[in-house]
Amino acid sequence: MLAFATCYEALRARDARFDGLFFVGVTTTRIYCRSVCAARTPRESSCRFFSSAAMAEKDGFRPCLRCRPELAPGSDEAVSERSLAQAIGRRLQATALEAASVKELARQAGFSERQLRRIVRGAFGVTPIELVQTQRLLFAKKLLHETALPVAAVALRAGFRSLRRFNALFQARYGLAPTALRRSAALAVAGPLRLQLAYRPPLAWREMLAYFGARAIPGVEVVADGCYLRTTEIGAKAAWLRVSQAAEHDALMVEFAPEMASHLYPALHRLRAVFDLDANPARIAEHLSVEKSLRSLVAKTPGLRVPGAWDAFEIALRAVLGQQISVAAATTLSGRLVARFGTPFITPWPRLTHTFPRASTLADAAVADIAALGLPRKRAETIREVARAAAAGVFVFAPGTTAGQAVAQLKALRGIGEWTAQYLAMRLLRSPDAFPAGDLGLRKAAGRGMPLTEAALLRRAESWRPWRAYAAAHLWHSLS
């Protein structure tokens, strides 16, 4: 928890580094804001600070219509990874629209519902239901602001089964009817839906796109004209999405195919992970810049993030395909895999032609058919093994699973060694301290052309903890 004086000074300075780390409730207006709100700074005696939007709303504060708390970046990843309660809170927020999320989450974590309520209340000051309700209401508020979906459709997409219940809770929490938030210049109901995703600046968007562009899966992903585009199957429907950088805000603009209208909430959570939008770049840069060998790299590319993954099975297969070959060769093989086993899909972009193969499809495929793509038989066997593991839910980790436990679980799969497991820990698990020290590129970059040994690199990287994944991102980027 931040000290009151620290929060107030950050509020006075409108310091973007604190955006999302706390919220301020103003007792004279009963409204709560982000640290970067452009409204006049309230008197110190009128301020109350909260670590979450849910706590502010529980105490009767309504979200500010100017700074819009639902746009605040998420909590710092490195801190939350250390806490089981924070892990449970993140899972609750990610699954807030699922009716049985609390009960199911307790089962996954190995707790009773009573234990889960105690853990969440201790960390957030609210019950799991209150936390989920806040996420649903803030998401509904986002849809009301940024789309022209009918109010009934907004309620349904925000996880409310009853329009009456939605209207009553919205009125009780925010003091106004949902229709009062409607903008006069809302988007048309028909056609793509557009929503924003905020982040803490800076963001090395061009470098992020270059990374994804070099590894784009042919037919599934495209990087062009400053945008990232991809196909997906979400909710058993094929769809597409396009991501670009907003012109006037520290945010990404996401355009969704109409087929994704019922799955916007999970899609937005996935995209936050894909582009590492919950990172705190100022804190990471300050820590890594202490190391002389990294200082110039960090200064050269401010806001460099660790690219995430849209889908667990997709990134696992991409990692296996990339073992011991070049990035370009792995991209070629992934394109063949998509053409042979993916599902054709027509999109507005001619280069987006398929959705990625389902795990069940490759789990049932003959090893000879997979090897025919140009793979050694053992690698083809590994791909089928990974597909079967994905179909069995191996890549769904229980809340509170540590990075070390997850790496051990991944290495238990045939064909996945330390490098692949650490790479997946970086991109899939979002572990800020994951570090594939055996990677030849990292060893070359750290040794400035003369590769260090893996042991020597691990010793040097000790001072980079708990941000070794970000150090790896800077080292890899230096090679380009």
Active site positions, annotated: 33, 439
Q: Cα–Cα distance between 185 and 244 in angstroms, integer? A: 21
- Please provide the DSSP assignment of 208-268 as one string: HHHHHHHH--TBTEEEETTEEEEEEEETTEEEEEEEEE-SSSSEEEEEE-GGGGGGHHHHH
Q: Cα–Cα distance between 317 and 478 in angstroms, integer? A: 26
Q: Cα–Cα distance between 57 and 30 in angstroms, integer? A: 10
Cβ-contact 451, 443 below 8 angstroms:
yes
Cβ-contact 172, 269 below 8 angstroms:
no
DSSP state of 365: S
Q: Cα–Cα distance between 116 and 103 in angstroms, integer? A: 9
**Tokens for 253?**
């603009």
Cβ-contact 56, 241 below 8 angstroms:
no
Three-class DSSP labels, 137-175: HHHHHHHHHHCCCCHHHHHHHCCCCCHHHHHHHHHHHHC
Q: How far is CA 107 from CA 48, 74, 112, 129, 157, in A?
A: 35, 25, 7, 16, 25
Name the β-bridge partners of 239.
232
Helix (H) / strand (E) element for 443: namely helix 440-446
Pairing status of strand 62-63 against strand 31-33: parallel
Dihedral, 410, 412, 418, 421 alpha carbons, nearest 10 = -10
Name the β-bridge partners of 19.
22
- Please provide the DSSP assignment of 195-223 as one string: EEEE-PSP--HHHHHHHHHHH--TBTEEE
DSSP state of 22: B
